[in-house]
Structure 1
């Protein structure tokens, strides 16, 4: 039976709850359009990419059981796996691993055993074994196959090559049969067979040619089908033979995870430190966006943001470089900041974010961090200097996004409440907890884990090496369930401010978006962590007047938010003093001057209706001032029938060269949306005949 048909038949035996749980775990199955039949679900579950995602959810012993099952292929069952792993059939750890693999539909019952042939997509050479007997025997002639069948006491008449190869392979699937055949081997041959059985498979895929294990062929073993000759004098041992000769317990089964060093720590210390870190992260986001709001931050022509610009932003925002790097990456990943040819600027989405409660802001940043395609706090690779920011790699994204989730799961499971750990041993523990994901990182795993450790502490997910309550709840129950923890760490934004006689304003908490905008508009920020502070000065008040505010308007708004409902006398005096001096000197805009000795002509131009948009003003009998720049003024005069001449600042004629205009290249059409994910329960109901699969 084909794997799709076999899995579809298994799916039909599941109940509503079991099928819903499976589809919820293997969520990629629910991509639009939703599957409508068990065969469609099975086909999606067996896609190599989907199998890889499922394997990323396995611990090392679970993955080892899956590899052992792949090695056994069609002869896979619980008893054979137990023998291969060297544990009893009823071993609890083996049972738990098989339950997990069945839960993920990586294994399922079939004909009294377990379906495992499809796992070759993930384990092409399981346990470093070569191909099975059936494909290797397929290279032999019909006469050779009949001879082998007769030698092993198998019926050989009226059978073709495929049937004979399959029959011989099935016979060799029994380890006792292989050992019985190999028992009479001469000592030298037996040593060579043992060597071949334990030697990792060696093959080169080149122009469709597969090479066998190097070394002299063993005629005695070839005659009995224990070894199959390959090209250029090599030989290959069938997988079933190698497994039998390796012996029971030859497959690894590492059920004990690497230990971590744990030390006691008071829960209140963890929560206090996590709260302080989370508050500083929100404050850093505000400070960095303030810096970006003044002018776009230029990006490198080769992509990303240079170290020099990162450090400039850090100085301007009053943040350390590490927090600035993390903040810029998170804001960009979450769409709160946008990168364009003009540079890095805040997006309109940021205003919605800033208007939310601090708890929602923190949870939003955590979500952005979990899907962030970069590791800004990972130690530099091959350099003492940190690299540029926002230089995203698709390969790193595929590693870092699942690795962050694996990191949090590992720490939460391995570090109980009231305990803390360190980085020592954490990389090994993560590699045990998620070997499939860790293998993708290769030699970068330690660097990535170190960066994630630092980032999690900055966000308040970890503190002193211990998971916070926010981290545990967010991981186990999701963002909605974690909101009470986030609110406990960051209460609702404050709407009032303490105005002091020394012309400072203090908010002992997180100010609301409206209060923040008011104080930023009339005072200079001094601190944005812990207690937020501002200082009023003649320059800050004048800037508020420049923005269109009046002294009375500022006074009234400050009284509304001031604790006690009144302003200090010093601040009253400051507002009045700046207001009295404000506007004594006036500056009017002027785009250019129109000069002519013909006063009558200038008078005519001044009163020409078609030129009203120039907002002309007469400064002297022979001088008019236009509010528009020279190019617009010249174009308007020419359109009105006049023949002006443009001059440079030194009075020389400005020569105009007509330039050929070209339209900017149209952007490539693309769809940046992701396919919809449908409700697992709805898909389960549809497969069981209970309704449509649409979400």
Structure 2
């Protein structure tokens, strides 16, 4: 019986299926309802392409070799990938070290300069491919699944398909000698890419009439025409010219090694300082956004002029744009009809411990949708899906190094290129360099070395928050370190920021002190606050400045009102002030016939009507207008808590594997047919799981009436009528409950 992917998946034990679902998470989301559905999903090109994208360079080299050689054994693979190849023909390119096209982003490397893979490396790679269900082991040979062969293309490793009448090695050598030395350069051009363009490739050519090197190669069958414009180098000729090698350059079984780590204490100390600077810069940005209230562009994003103004006291250049997009991705700022403002998440972030604040920045950095090196004020514009992937990949690669390890951008790019040979790493090299520059801004790297902050989950030693400031005679205040949230909020209210950083400088001005008085502070409270939090005597200049501000404050009073009530009868006005509605509406007398209410006009109208009055609504010009419809909140969730379609009920691969393994199944069609014929003979009800025409899997309780021509005619229990079910679509059969 020929081995198929479906039969392999059906025969898997729980451990093997758990490994498969872990290595290929797309098979588990949404959770398949049967092993047949899982096998169908695993055999699609999209799923196989995702599995191949996860292979490193050595594993990808092995799967290409399996595709090139066909159903071959591990020993045959080893002879081409591990064992020394046979001697190439004199003068062929196989004798010369060739440039690498198989390792994007790396310099050409000869076999002597890298550590060649061992047989154990080959066995490990084959085992991984088997666990992925991309390669199926069958009677000592390795079979590549059909979808993988399609994804890899028609000429894996640059070899043409097997010839209909292949030449032997002896015949190839004889014909090369007979054709003469002029033919060899032509064949060498096609040695690693088998097809080439030749006009009138199917013209009649004989040994007697052949004069040019191409005519000689065609006459001796060293080249084979495919169509009138294309020729191909036969597989056996290519392998002989290569000296038995499948690939032009060797590939190591491990990525380029990290250099020896330096003592990590100095790197971690510098990284901690950088992390504190990042927290301080983000605090400054939130303060600036709250003050400026930047406008939101109609196309999404923040007005560039406002963004530049907000970033003036935060950071310059690309670092400033990084903090801006980081604030948006972390949910610290958001836009509404009034523009961009800090969110409630930002209020909570300001109250968090320093370590929790930095962890939020690291998580927000990984969620930034904009491409590294291309950050701007277009915060809500569509971004490529690869932006997050590159940041995640760089962080994962840094995590493989020891703390203190020197970080060379080119080495990081080379390691990522080895780890993902199917990714466009050379084209993304500028993006990866920009990502590493972002790592320096956040403290993931410091002093060109990897820090503990790359993967730290617990506080590495953030300093304690300070509860005092230094007041200076030039009307400034200096924070000697990170301040407690309450002290930082009060200082932001009382003084304007002049510089960012952990030891930030703020200046007290007329406008800043007036800002504090506007929100309810008094002159005595400001003096007491200075006395409580200053590390030295309060400078006389600050006291003089405060007296000037207090003297001019409050000469004009402005009160807020939600609605104005005009009452013609003064007695009715007094009645309203003594009514229960007065407290609910926040009524206050501002003139003999005028009341101010804190409630909105529609609420005031409803309350007055409940009192038996007949009020009218007027606009700002005094004209009567109809009462507007009551406001309604926009729906944001599903009614009744209905889960979204496609919700995965099995988040754990092991639980899903156990659930799938517990389903009754069968190993071959003969077993299935035997069960169906037995159910027909016994006239018993059975439950079958099968796949409909639209691809959905259903379970029906049926009684089999007849089985013939690959289908069964059956009747559903409960008056469901007669149904025809194709036998190949049945994935499970079990006895029905009585």
TM-score range, shorter chain: 0.5 to 0.7
2-structure distance, mates of 1:575, 1:101: 78
CA deviations over 1:264-296 (Å, ceiling 9, x no partner): 865343223212221111112111122222354
In structure 2, the residue matched to 1:95 is: 120
Q: Please tell me whether residue 127 in structure 1 is matched to residue 156 in structure 2.
A: yes
The partner residue of 1:587 within 558, 566, 576 is 558
Question: In the superposition, relative to structure 1, how do residues 369 and 603 fare at CA in structure 2: closer, same or farther (>3 Å)?
Answer: same
Secondary structure class of the residue paired with 1:270: helix
The partner residue of 1:680 within 618, 630, 653 is 653
2-structure distance, mates of 1:101, 1:309: 57
- Correspondence 1:121-520 to 2 at 5 A: 121-127=150-156, 129=158, 132-133=161-162, 178-179=168-169, 182=172, 185=175, 187-188=178-179, 194=187, 198=191, 200=193, 215-216=201-202, 230=226, 232=228, 234=230, 243=239, 246-255=242-251, 267-294=264-291, 296-305=293-302, 307-315=304-312, 317-339=313-335, 342-376=338-372, 378=373, 388-390=377-379, 392-394=381-383, 396-397=384-385, 399-411=386-398, 413=400, 418-424=404-410, 426-437=412-423, 439=424, 443=427, 445-471=428-454, 474=455, 482-484=456-458, 486-488=459-461, 490-491=462-463, 494=465, 496-498=467-469, 500=471, 502=473, 505-520=477-492
Moved more, 185-194 or 317-326: 185-194
Question: In the superposition, relative to structure 1, how do residues 302 and 66 fare at CA in structure 2: closer, same or farther (>3 Å)?
Answer: same
The answer as to whether partners of 1:303 and 1:391 remain within 8 angstroms in 2 is yes
- Correspondence 1:574-653 to 2 at 5 A: 582-588=553-559
Q: Please tell me whether residue 110 in structure 1 is matched to residue 159 in structure 2.
A: no
Question: In the superposition, relative to structure 1, how do residues 227 and 665 fare at CA in structure 2: closer, same or farther (>3 Å)?
Answer: farther
Question: In the superposition, relative to structure 1, how do residues 681 and 253 fare at CA in structure 2: closer, same or farther (>3 Å)?
Answer: farther
| Structure with the higher fraction of residues in strand conformation | 2
Secondary structure class of the residue paired with 1:509: coil
- Report how far residue 51 of structure 1 moved: 3.5
Give structure 1 stretches of 5+ with no counterpart.
Answer: 138-147, 153-171, 204-210, 381-385, 475-481, 691-695
The partner residue of 1:540 within 489, 512, 518 is 512
The answer as to whether partners of 1:353 and 1:361 remain within 8 angstroms in 2 is yes
- Report how far residue 298 of structure 1 moved: 2.5
Question: In the superposition, relative to structure 1, how do residues 124 and 644 fare at CA in structure 2: closer, same or farther (>3 Å)?
Answer: closer
Question: In the superposition, relative to structure 1, how do residues 687 and 86 fare at CA in structure 2: closer, same or farther (>3 Å)?
Answer: same
- Report how far residue 459 of structure 1 moved: 1.0
In structure 2, the residue matched to 1:160 is: none
The partner residue of 2:24 within 23, 26, 31 is 26
- Report how far residue 404 of structure 1 moved: 2.5
In structure 2, the residue matched to 1:8 is: 9
- Report how far residue 407 of structure 1 moved: 2.6
The answer as to whether partners of 1:501 and 1:569 remain within 8 angstroms in 2 is yes
Question: In the superposition, relative to structure 1, how do residues 330 and 11 fare at CA in structure 2: closer, same or farther (>3 Å)?
Answer: farther
The answer as to whether partners of 2:471 and 2:534 remain within 8 angstroms in 1 is no
2-structure distance, mates of 1:284, 1:267: 25
The answer as to whether partners of 1:61 and 1:253 remain within 8 angstroms in 2 is no
The answer as to whether partners of 2:258 and 2:405 remain within 8 angstroms in 1 is no
Secondary structure class of the residue paired with 2:311: helix
- Report how far residue 324 of structure 1 moved: 2.0
- Report how far residue 47 of structure 1 moved: 4.3
Moved more, 224-233 or 416-425: 224-233
2-structure distance, mates of 1:530, 1:290: 15
Question: In the superposition, relative to structure 1, how do residues 663 and 308 fare at CA in structure 2: closer, same or farther (>3 Å)?
Answer: same
1-structure distance, mates of 2:283, 2:200: 65
2-structure distance, mates of 1:673, 1:321: 43
The answer as to whether partners of 1:64 and 1:253 remain within 8 angstroms in 2 is no
2-structure distance, mates of 1:178, 1:453: 54
1-structure distance, mates of 2:448, 2:645: 38
CA deviations over 1:501-539 (Å, ceiling 9, x no partner): 646554433334333223323333344412244444554
Moved more, 275-284 or 332-341: 332-341
CA deviations over 1:439-466 (Å, ceiling 9, x no partner): 2x563x1220121021011111112321
Q: CA RMSD in A?
A: 5.4
1-structure distance, mates of 2:433, 2:509: 44
Question: In the superposition, relative to structure 1, how do residues 402 and 71 fare at CA in structure 2: closer, same or farther (>3 Å)?
Answer: farther
CA deviations over 1:180-203 (Å, ceiling 9, x no partner): 665664745986994696363669
CA deviations over 1:538-578 (Å, ceiling 9, x no partner): 5434322322345566677777x7488x9848678877876
The answer as to whether partners of 1:375 and 1:451 remain within 8 angstroms in 2 is no
Secondary structure class of the residue paired with 1:125: coil
2-structure distance, mates of 1:608, 1:202: 99
| Structure with the higher fraction of residues in helix conformation | 1
- Report how far residue 312 of structure 1 moved: 1.9
- Report how far residue 319 of structure 1 moved: 2.3
Secondary structure class of the residue paired with 1:55: helix
- Report how far residue 83 of structure 1 moved: 3.5
In structure 1, the residue matched to 2:59 is: 62
- Correspondence 1:29-48 to 2 at 5 A: 29-33=27-31, 37=35, 43-48=40-45
Secondary structure class of the residue paired with 2:558: coil
The answer as to whether partners of 2:297 and 2:303 remain within 8 angstroms in 1 is yes
2-structure distance, mates of 1:323, 1:407: 18
Question: In the superposition, relative to structure 1, how do residues 666 and 228 fare at CA in structure 2: closer, same or farther (>3 Å)?
Answer: farther
2-structure distance, mates of 1:239, 1:411: 42
Secondary structure class of the residue paired with 2:497: strand
The answer as to whether partners of 2:289 and 2:342 remain within 8 angstroms in 1 is yes
The answer as to whether partners of 2:472 and 2:539 remain within 8 angstroms in 1 is yes
1-structure distance, mates of 2:627, 2:139: 83
In structure 1, the residue matched to 2:679 is: none
Secondary structure class of the residue paired with 1:33: coil
Secondary structure class of the residue paired with 1:70: helix
2-structure distance, mates of 1:371, 1:592: 44
Question: In the superposition, relative to structure 1, how do residues 335 and 585 fare at CA in structure 2: closer, same or farther (>3 Å)?
Answer: closer
In structure 2, the residue matched to 1:165 is: none
